[in-house]
Structure 1
């Protein structure tokens, strides 16, 4: 038997093979649920919306881009769209920046002035998994 110990949000904190050990870990609002071998705290969460807590795959963060190449002219933009409220977008490269989506189905346009490769990570509210993009900012 494998048990997942999880918090009030459904985050899997740890696993236990023995029911007694799992029960010992259930304090400070933690709970346990039986799950299958191979369960993963990185890719799964415990859905508590129904009558029985159920391990489920974590969904991807909702975010799309209008492209992956843009000119470093300060006026051409990449649009990030379809973001849920509270999604945090971090841009790392020659210049770093971040922003938080405000409202559901939010969008934001970003212009770049420094050429290079930028790694963009969009992280929605838990249980969403982060989504990663690479933006190539060129001199052209």
Structure 2
């Protein structure tokens, strides 16, 4: 329902046009698994250009965290609910921003370690192929000499 809402808003308000003109809706990979196969292909973020092969898991985690507030806020008035959810979102963002430096450091270290490992694997595969090519070339040369 969000995309149709965003499209309606962007038609009415100029400052929101970029949200539908420059963006494309997509489902997280795991949420999309519950949809029909053609819907998964059209709207999976995995296949969209510029989505960085994302799984959409961060969005699912955010939605899951915010869903916990539904039981607390359902009996509140509109303004109280809005205030409560705003504070919850600010708290979640602050919490995420405080974790970000450690997380980025950990991800960088992991990427560097993986890079070294993948480079070694790649070199091993290249050497294996070279050996096979040399054997093949030698056997062809031997057959040509005969």
User: Which has the larger Rg?
Assistant: 2
TM norm structure 2: 0.20
Higher relative contact order (CA 8 A, sep 6+): 1
Between Structure 1 and Structure 2, the one with more strand by share is 1
